[in-house]
Amino acid sequence: MKTVYVGLSGGVDSSVSALLLKQQGFHVVGVYMKNWSKDLPGMPCPWMDDYQDAKRLTVQLGIEFKMFDFEKQYQRKVVDYMLDEFRAGLTPNPDIMCNQEVKFKLFLDTALEEGADMIATGHYARVVHGKEPKMLVAKDGNKDQTYFLYRISPEALNKTLWPIGELTKPEVRELAKQHGLVTADKKESMGICFVGKVPIKEFLQQFVESKSGAIIDQHGKKVGTHDGAVFYTIGQRHGLDVGGGLPLYVVGKSMDKNEVYVTTDLQDKKLWNNIIKFSSAHWINGEPKNNQKLMVRTRHRAKLIPVKLLNKSSNSMWTAELDEDVKALTPGQSAAFYCSGECIGGGVVSVLTQAA
């Protein structure tokens, strides 16, 4: 009987994953990863509630329960990385870094050291194990999470199970209710991966020094004042506090000048791009072949767009040309590439080129 350590977040998706694994005959051990426990002013961390829900679930299923304390490593690998990227004027994705460094590296290594044969999580994705393992999109296209998983290694992929990848979210909820799981009706957390429902700006304000500066429109005119360029991202419309007139969209910023640039023109070329330059490329089974028909997703739940990889320069910067313009591509965010329903890897957006 194979032993599977399943990461339990205290939510319904990982709960059903543990249920399914037990039904399939695995020796299942539930693990809560303690990654963040700090309370911030006016923002209590919900980790203890999640821990208790995960523990109650294991009692209900009759499986062993463990807690892995990864807080120090998480601070260094995920939180510090995120803060450094924001300070540099970029917009990082901490969920992608969490998957790369914590869930499918630290958690995996710790579980294997303790005698696990494999790990499992409640992600919506599918895996085909083998010499060249494949990560396939989930059955539920609306919940598919392969975008957040594109940096997984082939070694980790071969040691991973995603039990709910063949289910839709409503089917997961229904299974949880049928079996009376304690998390059946628990709402999803839509905030930062490690701080529950805290908006990113409120979180950053606790750690990043900022000062007010000018908001400048497409005509070079100052139209308002911001409270820190670090808090703004390309395409942002809300939170500018510039009253009256047409809606404003952020099209850029200068960290050196502490300026935020906006436009009232939704068709402004600075808002749209069809060329992506990206670095930190990660290909699960090696670089794509020249004749592969590829698609790209530039944010979670964004539609897949046909794309051509043009070249790779000597400094490992890749260039990709999309078949159509995409709004608000943002340096620091990721582009994940797909071929026939398989996520093959991706990279971090570094430079934007205006659409022709």
Query: 3-state SS string over 43-98?
Result: ECCCHHHHHHHHHHHHHHHCCEEEEEECHHHHHHHHHHHHHHHHHCCCCCCHHHHH
**Residues 6 or more apart from 182 whose CB is under 8 A from it?**
15, 53, 56, 57, 60
Q: Judge whether 32 and 146 are in contact, CB under 8 Å.
A: no
The pair of three-digit structure tokens given for residue 80, joined into one six-digit string: 């510090």
Q: Which residues pair with 213 in a beta bridge?
A: 226
Catalytic residue among 45, 193, 339, 343: 193
Nearest-angstrom CA–CA distance, 87 and 51: 32
Rg (CA), the chain: 21
The DSSP call for residue 229 is: G
Nearest-angstrom CA–CA distance, 13 and 186: 10
Nearest-angstrom CA–CA distance, 82 and 192: 11
- Judged by phi (left if over 0) then psi (alpha if -120 to 50, else beta), residue 147 lies in alpha
Judging by DSSP bridges, how do beta strands 118-120 and 3-7 pair with one another? parallel
Choose among 233, 313, 254, 245: nearest CA to 279: 313
Residue written as token pair 């990721």: 334
Catalytic residue among 45, 98, 339, 343: 98
Judging by DSSP bridges, how do beta strands 118-120 and 160-161 pair with one another? parallel
Active site residue 45: no
Q: Which residues are part of the catalytic machinery?
A: 98, 193
